C-alpha cells in the first residue's frame, strides 16, 4: 500500500507503517508540510496514495465540498491511545487491500474503525 502522511500524524505512526513494509511518503518530505488540506488531498489523489491524517477537516472536504480523493484514513488518537490505534490500524490494513480502500473515508479509533464511501 502507498500512503501520503499528513504533517499532523505522529512520527512513530509513519515509522510503524514503514516497519510493516508499506510505501510511505511524508508531507514534509515533498515540501508540503504547510500545504492547505485541499492541496494535500489532491496531491494524494494525483499520486495514487491513501492520505493518512489526524485532521477531521478532511471529512468536510470530501463529504461537504465533494472533493475527489483516492481515500482517507483518519486516525483518532492521542499520545495515550497510540498503541491501541496502531493495533486497530494493523488489523484494518490486514483486512483490506489498497484497491478496496480507494474512495473510502476510514476512521480508526481505539478498538474499532468506521468506513464511509466517498463519491467518485
Whole-number Cα distances in Å, 10 to 7, 15, 87, 95: 8, 9, 15, 23
> What is the rounded CA–CA span in Å between residue 106 and residue 115?
5
pLDDT tens per residue across span 7-28: 999 999 999 999 999 999 999 9
> What is the reported pLDDT for 64?
78
pTM of the entire predicted model: 0.93
> What is the reported pLDDT for 65?
74
Hey, what CATH class is 2-117 in? alpha beta
**SS3 state at 32:** coil
Angle, CA of 34, 67 and 24, to the nearest 5°: 50
Greater confidence (77 vs 120) lies with: 77
Phi-psi region of 46 (alpha: psi -120 to 50; beta: other; left: phi over 0): alpha
For cell 495514487, name the residue.
48
* Cross-strand bridge partners of residue 3: 24, 50
pLDDT tens per residue across span 32-78: 999 999 999 999 999 999 999 999 999 888 887 777 788 999 999 88
C-alpha cell, 94: 490486514
User: Beta-strand (E) ranges in 8-109?
Assistant: 23-26, 50-53, 72-75, 104-109
* Cross-strand bridge partners of residue 52: 5, 73
Predicted confidence band at 79 (pLDDT cuts at 50, 70, 90)?
Answer: confident
pLDDT tens per residue across span 80-116: 899 999 999 999 999 999 999 988 999 999 999 999 9
> What is the reported pLDDT for 120?
58
Amino acid at each position: 500500500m502507498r500512503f501520503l502522511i499528513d504533517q499532523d500524524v505522529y512520527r512513530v505512526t509513519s515509522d510503524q507503517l514503514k516497519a510493516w513494509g508499506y510505501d510511505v511518503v511524508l508531507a514534509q518530505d515533498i515540501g508540503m508540510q504547510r500545504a492547505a488540506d485541499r492541496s494535500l488531498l489532491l496531491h494524494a489523489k494525483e499520486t495514487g496514495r491513501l492520505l493518512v491524517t489526524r485532521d477531521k477537516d478532511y471529512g468536510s472536504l470530501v463529504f461537504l465540498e465533494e472533493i475527489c480523493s483516492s481515500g482517507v484514513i483518519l486516525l483518532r488518537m492521542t499520545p495515550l491511545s497510540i498503541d491501541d490505534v496502531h493495533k486497530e490500524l494493523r488489523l484494518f490494513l490486514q483486512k483490506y487491500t489498497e484497491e478496496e480502500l480507494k474512495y473510502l473515508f476510514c476512521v480508526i479509533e481505539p478498538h474499532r474503525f468506521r468506513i464511509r464511501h466517498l463519491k467518485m
